[in-house]
Structure 1
């Protein structure tokens, strides 16, 4: 499929994009001042700290870019500064030595085309910055960077990838190389990758479901590719992604929800809006979207010190520094179900919530081939509810039945009612295995090593051919929003006398009152309610459900390797046993 055919079906739904030059020819001086200050401070920090001996080629080149950008920028305090010349030269020497004879670089992965592509992006940007710079060192540096890119070209035109986003990063890098060293093989390779189609759904969520990889890899790569003839429709995919990112972000700290991710950031590491800065700028300028302009202004107000790298983008593509359209607040109240990923987002004023049942353990409400499995590339986070109000954050509400070592409960379904009520449900079904039918029995007892049908363990028992008897525990959860917070009604059916543990993890930094300490830094809410205070905000949690034992293991898939799926923070437990019916309230006072 060539580029003309690739765009069929992607441009029809696109908003009308206007040329950047026609949109706003005036420079945005306020933005330029913000990113220049950030870049200057970033360079000062680098100059004050020698590079670590084990710095990767990618980190080395990014360090070089962070010095070179203010070096060529006339508004910078470092413009053509003598103190930057030697460090830049040393960093470039290090990168040249790290390149293999086949043109690739190794960063953990040996002779890696994707990791090489990440370096190419920085090289290409620096070459453009150096193109019009008149310092005596600039042209020689640009020539050396071009030589590195030329050596990398054949490897990227023939090499492979590991993850979905690598396709677009490698494609963008190939396009960059083709711009300085044109070759038909590069254009053919671009068409090969693009012919696979972009892995994005109607909500603008990429298949990896990761805000980190959207902001740092996929969106920037697609915007580079969109500059090529016939590929402008890629911008519409970025636009859709940014619209969803604003729904996934909370308004106080700009934290972007990542509980749905299939990548490393599903551990709920704090990811905020600033990595999307230049993407919001470009799409605000192209579409006139006032909320995108508002996101830019929010980032400049709240996260200005993190915007040093954006100066490179605004120098390389001066049109990105044009004045923005009139801005309006980027965050709006509402409730929305992202059905394909099992996520509900709700916002009311300063309060934001995520309600999640999107584990890859299930597909269409039934166990998938990945049921009860963990690993890179699978969404397996068991968090059911997250809640924000200013600096007071409930990192996660999780449910742990002590049922055959299955660990945390992950719902199979999620639904959003018109009144905002969210319903989740699922069932844990664990088999006991009966004798093999006569036809499959062997006198030598040599049966194949297979995984149990619930993927809890493996044995030489030919599990799939055995009849089973099943023990079942059904769980239904109804989460109801109100003006102060949420009410969670949790009910079980099926197996009786199963210990149930509700784990509530509160972001550190507050004061918890009214709970019984357990000695390991966690707490037990036995009856009544507790209070958690952060600054002027206070959250009431309760009531408890009795003095049942706290059993908070993550399941056999974790514990056999001495692992644990546990969020950082202050952990509070509510316990009971099945048949379990308990309403728990989280209310801001």
Structure 2
């Protein structure tokens, strides 16, 4: 659909995204000072750094926003600064040149509606900031941004998406365009996407299970859409998500658990609370939730330097800069099972634990169609336990049986007992294939290329029609909280004489003692205890279980592509052979 035909017959009123209270209301000056300082520092860094030649259009526009926000803000040291005028103009020129004739932008994905939507969000925010600014350059800049938004409208109202969160990002961008260039097709398209239903469970966890995409895409998009007529109920979804985020965060560094993610952040990269700052602030103001207010204050105290982008939101929507109600500590002790995603979270004072058995390899305790497969959009992290106390962090406890190249063990089930004990269990079952029944044999030997039923490899053997004989290894793990840590009891049944390797990955920055160094930088705990010290905290790990060689291969699905599944940090191994029964203690001393 070209723009000329798209705009014929336009009569709809614009959907407004104006502030819900007057800009003259009392402001939270302490918060504004925090985000203004961060924004000023951000702008100064940009001015001191040459423009990279390979910036994407999205990164280029965000760089412009980071200059323009302090430029229009009277409290900024860069307010109407002459040094910002030329860089802002250069960045705007660059973005305009990158827009295709159909209104879209390409960022890896060609002519991408979702990537275009991310740019529209920044354009719309800057237009609102410029609306009342009186600098001579402001109105022309706003006009050029509006022109790009108008040009993108038809493509977003007819284009497609790739991932679940793209639906809400594109819808929010369409709402932004409708506010400056109204058309009935825009709200109709938003309603089409929303009619699919928001992909969120009862705990407020979105289907992608990713804190990155919740904080940067889904929550902000739903809060924009909630400003439209009839959509205020979307805020309740965001509120539920934020409640769960506080359970998924640990209190020392605010690290948010991502082991359950189906997206890139399942690699356990460090994600903290600051990207949720504006969302916590809005929902604290709307609901009066004292823990949300506490999260805002915690972020301002712990991660103030990262809040520069929040100034744009607080200027664009002055109601978000109102004073907060009295705050309460955001983190509380407790034990909770998130059954749909196979995650238990436990917090006891400074000690926080994640216990995980939520791989997409299983559904309802049985192998799923994704069994023994890896790929974008699948939760496949094999970490069983993570543990934090202050700055001492166990990145992950994992278990690797040396069993047919299957790699790491991923449990099929997880339960939480009333006393806090967590139980995980599963079975590795690998077939040997028998001759085809007579009815399926071919004289020419030309059988279909199929995947083995355990998805380890592919061959022209018509696997699905063959009888099989199975080799099985069952594994049960009981994880018991005690006064100063956890006890892990691992038991196997089935196949005997299988090597078992337990990997304990410790976050870098500490000193490990009591284990034998290995040639690859890891350590083997053969007997007794090892200790790991970070600052004033010490973790005792043990006992070892013998000298069975360490075998920590990631499995055939990684090996054929010369890949590996390994956590960073100091790696300590405990090994044994089946039948294996061993209790491993992790005790803070």
TM tier, smaller: over 0.9
**Deviations 1:443-487 (CA, angstroms, capped at 9, x unpaired):** 110000000000000000000000000000000000000110000
Contact 2:433 2:468 survives alignment (8 Å)? yes
Distance 1:109 1:17, change over 3 A: closer
- Return the alpha-carbon distance in structure 2 between the equivalents of residues 9 and 428 of structure 1: 63
SS for the counterpart of 2:380 is coil
**Deviations 1:340-383 (CA, angstroms, capped at 9, x unpaired):** 00000000000000000000000000000000000000000000
- Return the alpha-carbon distance in structure 2 between the equivalents of residues 143 and 4 of structure 1: 20
- Return the alpha-carbon distance in structure 2 between the equivalents of residues 16 and 312 of structure 1: 18
Shift of 1:4: 30
- Aligned CA-pair RMSD: 4.7
**Deviations 1:110-156 (CA, angstroms, capped at 9, x unpaired):** 00000000000000000000000000000000000000001100100
Contact 1:15 1:236 survives alignment (8 Å)? no
**Deviations 1:292-335 (CA, angstroms, capped at 9, x unpaired):** 00000000000000000000000000000000011000000000
SS for the counterpart of 1:161 is coil
Matched, 1:171 2:161: no
**Deviations 1:489-540 (CA, angstroms, capped at 9, x unpaired):** 0000000000000000000000001110002211000000001000000000
Contact 2:127 2:146 survives alignment (8 Å)? yes
Distance 1:27 1:270, change over 3 A: same
Distance 1:17 1:470, change over 3 A: farther
Contact 1:334 1:348 survives alignment (8 Å)? yes
Shift of 1:587: 0.4
SS for the counterpart of 1:504 is strand
Contact 2:432 2:470 survives alignment (8 Å)? yes
SS for the counterpart of 2:22 is helix
Distance 1:116 1:25, change over 3 A: same
- Return the alpha-carbon distance in structure 2 between the equivalents of residues 487 and 144 of structure 1: 62
Shift of 1:185: 1.3
Contact 1:10 1:233 survives alignment (8 Å)? no
- Return the alpha-carbon distance in structure 2 between the equivalents of residues 138 and 23 of structure 1: 20
Contact 1:267 1:381 survives alignment (8 Å)? yes
Contact 1:11 1:233 survives alignment (8 Å)? no
Distance 1:249 1:12, change over 3 A: farther
Shift of 1:13: 31
Contact 1:71 1:78 survives alignment (8 Å)? yes
Contact 2:10 2:182 survives alignment (8 Å)? no
Shift of 1:552: 0.3
Distance 1:335 1:122, change over 3 A: same
Distance 1:461 1:475, change over 3 A: same
- Return the alpha-carbon distance in structure 2 between the equivalents of residues 347 and 291 of structure 1: 16
Contact 2:522 2:570 survives alignment (8 Å)? yes
- Return the alpha-carbon distance in structure 2 between the equivalents of residues 405 and 489 of structure 1: 24
Shift of 1:17: 18
**Unpaired runs of at least 5, structure 2:** none
- Return the alpha-carbon distance in structure 2 between the equivalents of residues 157 and 568 of structure 1: 43
Shift of 1:3: 26
Distance 1:19 1:109, change over 3 A: closer
Contact 2:23 2:318 survives alignment (8 Å)? no
Shift of 1:184: 1.3
- Return the alpha-carbon distance in structure 2 between the equivalents of residues 11 and 543 of structure 1: 75
Shift of 1:26: 2.4
Contact 1:24 1:322 survives alignment (8 Å)? no
SS for the counterpart of 1:22 is coil
Distance 1:6 1:517, change over 3 A: farther
Shift of 1:5: 30
Runs of 4+ off more than 3 Å: 1-25
SS for the counterpart of 1:20 is coil
Distance 1:355 1:14, change over 3 A: farther
TM-score normalised over the length of structure 2: 0.97
Shift of 1:15: 25
**Deviations 1:49-88 (CA, angstroms, capped at 9, x unpaired):** 0111000000000000000000000000000000000000
Distance 1:244 1:23, change over 3 A: farther
**Deviations 1:402-452 (CA, angstroms, capped at 9, x unpaired):** 000000000000000000000000000000000000000011100000000
Aligned length: 589
Counterpart residue number, 1:70? 70
SS for the counterpart of 1:280 is helix
Contact 1:361 1:372 survives alignment (8 Å)? yes
Distance 1:482 1:74, change over 3 A: same
Matched, 1:42 2:47: no
Distance 1:13 1:302, change over 3 A: farther
Contact 1:199 1:206 survives alignment (8 Å)? yes
- Return the alpha-carbon distance in structure 2 between the equivalents of residues 12 and 182 of structure 1: 6
- Return the alpha-carbon distance in structure 2 between the equivalents of residues 103 and 443 of structure 1: 58
Distance 1:12 1:473, change over 3 A: farther
Contact 1:18 1:286 survives alignment (8 Å)? no
Distance 1:539 1:313, change over 3 A: same
**Range that drifts further, 127-136 or 518-527:** 518-527
**Unpaired runs of at least 5, structure 1:** none
**Deviations 1:169-197 (CA, angstroms, capped at 9, x unpaired):** 00000000011000111111111101000
- Return the alpha-carbon distance in structure 2 between the equivalents of residues 169 and 565 of structure 1: 32
Contact 1:394 1:505 survives alignment (8 Å)? yes
Shift of 1:45: 0.3
Contact 1:26 1:322 survives alignment (8 Å)? yes
Contact 1:23 1:285 survives alignment (8 Å)? no
